[in-house]
Amino acid sequence: MIDTAALIIIGTELTRGIIQDRHGQFVSKALSSLGIHMTQIVAIPDDGTIESILGALVRKNDLVVITGGLGPTSDDMTRECIADVAASPLERNEESWKSLYAKIGDRISGANGKQTLIPRGFTRMPNPNGTADGFYGYTPDGRLLISLPGPPKEMQPMFENLVVPLLSSLSGKGETVRNEYSSFITAEAKLEDLTHSIAPDLTWGTRFQDYKISLYLSGGSAEDRERAIAALREECGSQLILDGDVSALDPLVSRLRAGGLTIACAESCTGGLAGAVITSAAGSSDYFLGSVVSYSNSMKETVLGVDPAVIASCGAVSEECAEQMADGVRRLSGSDVAFSVTGVAGPAESERKKVGHVCFGFSSRQRGTQSVTLDFSSWGRESVRRKSVVTAFLLTAAYLDGVDLRQTVSSWKWV
Amino acid sequence: MIDTAALIIIGTELTRGIIQDRHGQFVSKALSSLGIHMTQIVAIPDDGTIESILGALVRKNDLVVITGGLGPTSDDMTRECIADVAASPLERNEESWKSLYAKIGDRISGANGKQTLIPRGFTRMPNPNGTADGFYGYTPDGRLLISLPGPPKEMQPMFENLVVPLLSSLSGKGETVRNEYSSFITAEAKLEDLTHSIAPDLTWGTRFQDYKISLYLSGGSAEDRERAIAALREECGSQLILDGDVSALDPLVSRLRAGGLTIACAESCTGGLAGAVITSAAGSSDYFLGSVVSYSNSMKETVLGVDPAVIASCGAVSEECAEQMADGVRRLSGSDVAFSVTGVAGPAESERKKVGHVCFGFSSRQRGTQSVTLDFSSWGRESVRRKSVVTAFLLTAAYLDGVDLRQTVSSWKWV
């Protein structure tokens, strides 16, 4: 049974910063999906450090994977160290010798000959793309050691084709299931707190990205995971936790494409960010007509046709203004649907309207113009702007579905 | 004297293979250029493994750098472990507390308050981009410990601005003078090649950011560095390598503020990104009136007043259209100056207009409307959009100075 693993990556080019490691993530991901817990990834130079590291890691892990150090020079000490730890002498592997002879001919009698030595009792792993075969075997107390060459184009195919099948058959666990969700607006620390208290027995992880947090659940039964995610949705708002690896824009774009609809937007505090995110996708000209960034009140009035009396009485950050902005840009662009964003991104704020106070308007041919207001707990200007863009996308999709927007946002407890 | 160092990278997302490590190469490269030998790079999960690892590494190295584990949750154990190894109790750092209070207010009284604790006798390293400050100090037997936050955009500037100068002064090699420049548009690999061939005897480094590359020169005399940067400017274009840590927008904003001028823009391929970047700065409403994102031809015509005959004969991606867009948005917004961007961001392109073909227009009260075209060597849609935004900012500043724009861009050899 293999539960824990460590990875040793040998290469002075790594510890000098000359090249970027490419094994750490590759191996971790593969082991993780096999349900094996990676306890450490260690990169060390080709200077013999392997001796002390390997001994220490093999005592604490069921499996140690070692990449590199299998070359023909005296710096390449991996095979000697593994032989020591496995208490098994190096001997020539005939298959490996024949294979190398076929590749390099008589040069095998020089330093390269060393590359055909593996510890007695270990199994050869053929390397179709280089001169150094890999090998695997056990220490006297049953720890598995796997040694692979360093170059990614040699190591990675060997890992996929030989190591993964070997570990799958040894693990006896079969397939490990891991569910992925995309969470929006709720802060990462809050999402972690909630997940921890809702699903103490599941394994979970989060990954912060600019506009979303990926949430991973594993362990338990499928029902356990379903129950946990339903409870999380109850807590955060069901529109804010979507299945799979999706963006906040995906639900909106799929509705626009399905309905053959065009969209435009009017932005104030987001300053163009909504349009920039929409147009970062190739092909967005199929549905996106444009945006009016009315940062000044005069542009709201002269370009979008917002009534100056509304700005004077309710302010530019108001649901009334947001509705007129959305109607205005829809009329101006001729789009089927439009949304607007106007709010206080900070740091300046007023007595009545605090940083994070943002109003959204929604306009379409099919249904009446609507608006909602959110008060984001702010972590600064960029955070308010990003949350505003994400909210605008999610709510415009809900608006197209005919959902009650005020009720929707009233269930968003952790904005 | 610091000869040997180890790096501990804390993050369960790394050992699960969810994300790719970005600290290993960054730190190794920097330490290597300071003559410090990296003996080990260790990535571990947020599960308390740090305890045993830190103790072992601190016995074998003059310096241990730890990234991550400084968050507010119970998983974040770095500060406790360092306090143990340094045999020094944690105590509240008042500067850190004030700074965090300014960022998050009363929420500091919850779990975040922990982020202001550092071991007694250690020195705070302020983090301008996040809630977790870093800190450094010594163990009883004189080993240096440096603790930094995990997110690369927080950690990397702190490393460049605080850790490198600290290590330079400790290394006993004398004060290392380091000049910093901000380079735009030229690709990082090209900038490295050019620097290497122009200044083989200087020490240099680069750091890629979304809209710029920071270039650092050290070694040699002040004249050597001056000569090198002059040669680089000759090669790349003098507007594309600015002194110090500045953004592409800084020269434009300083001219707007100095002249009390307002600006607006009209965007097509950038989709709102120019406005989003301008408004990411607090206080931008002092000079920015707004933007029209005319993604469709009809919005170019109906909102900005571009002549349909121009679009029919020259195309929407043309200098003629760019000039009319700039004039149109200036008229519409009533701004003193305006720029426009219209181009092919890709991946779709036409026979006559390839990906990276972008036209810019410039309009103002003071001088005649102008336009230029650039053909960016594209690395994809986002790269073309970012280069377009940077170019628009740099050229609008040059336009306000009365510089000949066509001659300017003809000297930009590596766009």
How far B407 CA sits from the closest chain A CA (Å)?
Answer: 30
Chain B residues with CB-CB distance to A205 below 8 A: 12-13, 16, 18
Alpha carbons B388 and B411: distance in angstroms, whole number: 17
pLDDT of residue A269: 95
Contact of A340 with chain B, judged by CB distance below 8 Å, is answered with no
Residues in contact with B37: Cβ distance below 8 Å, sequence separation at least 6, in sequence order:
B3, B4, B5, B31
Chain A residues with CB-CB distance to B19 below 8 A: 25, 207
pLDDT of residue B175: 47
Alpha carbons A403 and A249: distance in angstroms, whole number: 17
* B40 vs B47, higher pLDDT: B40
**3 state DSSP class of B166:** helix
How far B312 CA sits from the closest chain A CA (Å)?
Answer: 18
Eight-state DSSP code of residue B163: I
Contact of B291 with chain A, judged by CB distance below 8 Å, is answered with yes
pLDDT range class, residue B177, cuts 50, 70, 90: low
Q: What is the mean pLDDT of residues A194-212?
A: 82
Q: What is the mean pLDDT of residues B68-81?
A: 86
Is the peptide bond between B347 and the residue preceding it cis, with omega within 30 degrees of 0?
yes
Model confidence at A213: pLDDT above 80: yes
Chain A residues with CB-CB distance to B333 below 8 A: 296, 298-299, 303
Q: Write down the residue that tokens 């970047």 correspond to.
A: B277
Nearest C-alpha in A relative to B33: A16
CB contact under 8 A, B293 and A296: no
CB contact under 8 A, A14 and B25: yes
Contact of B189 with chain A, judged by CB distance below 8 Å, is answered with no
Model confidence at B315: pLDDT above 70: yes
Extract the tokens encoding A345: 């991104």
Task: Tell me: ipTM over 0.85.
Answer: no
Q: What value does the mean pLDDT of chain B take?
A: 91
Question: What digits encode the pLDDT tens for the residues A122-145?
Answer: 999 999 888 899 999 999 999 999
Chain A residues with CB-CB distance to B25 below 8 A: 14, 17, 19-21
pLDDT range class, residue A1, cuts 50, 70, 90: confident
For A90-99, A105-114, A147-156, A257-266, which range has the lowest pLDDT when averaged over its residues?
A105-114
Instruction: List the one residue out of A336, A252, A323, A257 whose CA is nearest residue A289.
Output: A336
B-contacting residues in A 237-276 (Cβ below 8 Å): 264, 267, 269-276
Contact of B103 with chain A, judged by CB distance below 8 Å, is answered with yes
Instruction: List the one residue out of A70, A64, A5 whose CA is nearest residue A32.
Output: A5
pLDDT range class, residue B108, cuts 50, 70, 90: confident
Model confidence at A177: pLDDT above 70: no
Count of A-B CB contacts under 8 Å: 255
Asked if residue A359 lies in contact with residue A339, where contact means CB atoms within 8 angstroms, the answer is: no
Contact of B297 with chain A, judged by CB distance below 8 Å, is answered with no
pLDDT range class, residue A287, cuts 50, 70, 90: very high
Q: What is the mean pLDDT of residues A247-253?
A: 96
Contact of B303 with chain A, judged by CB distance below 8 Å, is answered with yes
Contact of A63 with chain B, judged by CB distance below 8 Å, is answered with no
pLDDT range class, residue B143, cuts 50, 70, 90: very high
Burial class (CB in 10 A: 0-12, 13-18, 19+), B350: exposed
CB contact under 8 A, B20 and A15: no
Asked if residue A27 lies in contact with residue A66, where contact means CB atoms within 8 angstroms, the answer is: no
DSSP characters for A108-164?
GGTGGGGGGEEETT-EEE--TTSS--EEEEE-TT--EEEEE-SSHHHHHHHIIIIIH
Question: What digits encode the pLDDT tens for the residues A30-51?
Answer: 898 788 999 999 999 988 889 8
Alpha carbons B8 and B65: distance in angstroms, whole number: 6
For A264-273, B88-97, B378-387, which range has the lowest pLDDT when averaged over its residues?
B378-387
pLDDT of residue B151: 92
B-contacting residues in A 202-241 (Cβ below 8 Å): 205, 207, 214, 216
pLDDT of residue A158: 92
Question: What digits encode the pLDDT tens for the residues B391-408?
Answer: 999 999 999 999 999 999
CB contact under 8 A, B289 and A275: no
Contact of A294 with chain B, judged by CB distance below 8 Å, is answered with yes
DSSP characters for B329-344?
HHHHHT-SEEEEEEE-
How far A100 CA sits from the closest chain B CA (Å)?
Answer: 32
CB contact under 8 A, B332 and A299: yes
Alpha carbons A7 and A146: distance in angstroms, whole number: 10
**In this prediction, what percent of chain B has a pLDDT beyond 90?**
65
As a 3-state breakdown, chain A gives helix, strand, coil percent values, each rounded to 5, of 45, 20, 35
Contact of A50 with chain B, judged by CB distance below 8 Å, is answered with no
Chain B residues with CB-CB distance to A44 below 8 A: 39-41
How far A45 CA sits from the closest chain B CA (Å)?
Answer: 7
CB contact under 8 A, A303 and B332: yes
pLDDT range class, residue A176, cuts 50, 70, 90: low
pLDDT of residue A397: 97
pLDDT of residue B379: 66
The closest CB to that of B289, out of A272, A280, A295, belongs to A295
Residues in contact with A31: Cβ distance below 8 Å, sequence separation at least 6, in sequence order:
A5, A37, A38, A167, B17
A-contacting residues in B 378-407 (Cβ below 8 Å): 381-382, 385
Contact of A156 with chain B, judged by CB distance below 8 Å, is answered with no
CB contact under 8 A, A276 and B270: yes
pLDDT of residue A172: 60
Nearest C-alpha in A relative to B382: A280
Question: What digits encode the pLDDT tens for the residues A49-69?
Answer: 898 899 999 999 999 999 999
Does the pTM of the predicted model rise above 0.90? no
Question: What digits encode the pLDDT tens for the residues A340-380?
Answer: 999 988 787 777 788 899 999 999 988 999 999 999 987 68
B-contacting residues in A 133-152 (Cβ below 8 Å): none
pLDDT range class, residue B174, cuts 50, 70, 90: very low
* A152 vs A205, higher pLDDT: A152
How far A376 CA sits from the closest chain B CA (Å)?
Answer: 13
Contact of A48 with chain B, judged by CB distance below 8 Å, is answered with no
**In this prediction, what percent of chain A has a pLDDT beyond 70?**
98
The closest CB to that of A294, out of B16, B30, B290, belongs to B290
Q: What is the mean pLDDT of residues A224-244?
A: 93
Q: Which domains does chain A have, with CATH numbers?
A: 4-171 (3.40.980.10), 178-243 (3.30.70), 250-410 (3.90.950.20)
* A97 vs A340, higher pLDDT: A340
Q: What value does the mean pLDDT of chain A take?
A: 90
Model confidence at A75: pLDDT above 70: yes
Chain B residues with CB-CB distance to A285 below 8 A: 295-296
- Which residue out of B4, B8, B16, B386 would a mutagenesis test of the A interface target, given it has the greatest number of A Cβ atoms within 10 Å? B16
Write out the H or E segment, with its range, that includes residue B375. strand B370-375
Model confidence at A282: pLDDT above 70: yes
Asked if residue A359 lies in contact with residue A373, where contact means CB atoms within 8 angstroms, the answer is: yes
pLDDT range class, residue A71, cuts 50, 70, 90: confident
The closest CB to that of A276, out of B18, B273, B283, belongs to B273
Furthest CA-CA distance within chain A: 92
Beta strands (DSSP E) in B139-221 are 144-148, 178-183, 203-208, 213-218
Most confident among B104-113, B170-179, B246-255, B370-379 (mean pLDDT): B246-255
**In this prediction, what percent of chain B has a pLDDT beyond 70?**
98
CB contact under 8 A, B18 and A216: yes
